[in-house]
């Protein structure tokens, strides 16, 4: 051999070793995938372990009526003193509500007598809709006075983890954000691979969460882009 090359011995796995490795990797992927729906459907309300429990509950207004009724039952059980609803426009000329926030507030007021229920709708926006809703909820609560030190958000199934993230980005470190994943009517996120609706919900949220981590950056606090995400006219 010349001075420019040397002979070395390289140990390579046999086909049996490669097959075993692929089997282990496949098994780990299956286990991780089966737990994806449960991981996305996180429920961690502020329970007072690190301070006072949350007294404010934000309910995402796009939930179906039975899911809103479940949110009302949860609010009664936890004893929230204030409930706010979020949601954008309803593009249906036959619907008597202009937006999902007002629709959800009407359902919750009928089931939460004595509790302050306020609709905080989001206008049409090109922004990440969950983040835009969080911004308008934040500004609506701040118009009443100081922002709460803690609040819980009632979302639905696998949408919960991304919802908590967006609310924490919008509110900042001054407010602790808890999250509650309501049970969807038409899907089972814990066994999402057993039905098409469940699979679409979980995989869609997983993709949205990955896109958010990769590409979403919140606009400057208080900017036009934060509230509208379109150039001012």
Report how far Cα 26 is from the mean position of its chain's Cα atoms.
Answer: 29
Dihedral-angle region of residue 157 (phi above 0 means left; psi in -120 to 50 means alpha; beta otherwise): left
Query: pLDDT tens digits, residue range 129-168?
Result: 899 999 999 999 999 888 999 999 999 999 999 999 999 9
Query: pLDDT tens digits, residue range 182-200?
Result: 999 888 888 888 888 988 9
Bridge partners, 89 (sequence order): 99
Residue 2 has pLDDT above 70, yes or no: no
pTM of the model: 0.85
What pLDDT does 141 receive? 94
CA dist 145 to 39, 56, 60, 138, 149, Å? 35, 14, 22, 11, 12
Instruction: Look over the chain and give the mean of its residue pLDDT values, rounded to a whole number.
Output: 87
What pLDDT does 63 receive? 95
3-state secondary structure the chain: CCCCCCCCCCCCCCHHHHHHHHHHHHHHHHHHHHCHHHHHCCCECCCCCCCCCCCEEEEECCCCHHHHHHHHHHHHHHCCCEEEEECCECCCCCCCCCEHHHHHHHHHHHHCCCCEEEECCCCCCCCCHHHHHHHHHHHHHHHCCCCCCEEEEEEEHHHHHHHHHHHHHHHCCCCEEEEEEECCCCCCHHHHHHCHHHHHHHHHHHHHHHHHHHHCCCCCCCCHHHHCCCCCC
Residue 178 has pLDDT above 70, yes or no: yes
């Amino acid at each position: 051999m010349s001075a420019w090359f040397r002979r070395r011995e390289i140990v390579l796995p046999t086909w049996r070793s490669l097959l075993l490795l692929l089997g282990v990797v496949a098994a780990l992927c299956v286990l991780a995938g089966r737990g994806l729906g449960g991981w996305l459907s996180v429920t961690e309300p502020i329970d007072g372990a690190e301070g006072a429990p949350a007294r404010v509950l934000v309910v995402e207004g796009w939930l179906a009526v039975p899911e809103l009724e479940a949110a009302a039952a949860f609010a009664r059980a936890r004893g929230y003193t204030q409930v706010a609803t979020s949601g954008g426009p309803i593009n249906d000329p036959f619907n008597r509500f202009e937006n999902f926030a007002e629709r959800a507030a009407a359902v919750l007021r009928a089931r939460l007598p004595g509790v302050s229920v306020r609709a905080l709708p989001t206008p049409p926006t090109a922004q990440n809709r969950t983040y835009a809703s969080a911004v308008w909820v934040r500004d609506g609560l701040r118009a009443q006075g100081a922002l709460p030190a803690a609040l819980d958000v009632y979302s639905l199934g696998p949408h919960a983890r991304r919802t908590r993230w967006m609310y924490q980005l919008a509110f900042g470190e001054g407010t602790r954000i808890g999250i509650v994943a309501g049970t969807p009517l038409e899907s089972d996120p814990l066994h999402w691979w057993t039905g098409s609706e469940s699979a679409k919900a979980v995989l869609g949220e997983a993709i949205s969460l990955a896109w958010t981590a990769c590409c979403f950056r919140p606009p400057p606090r208080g900017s036009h882009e934060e509230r509208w995400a379109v150039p001012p006219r």
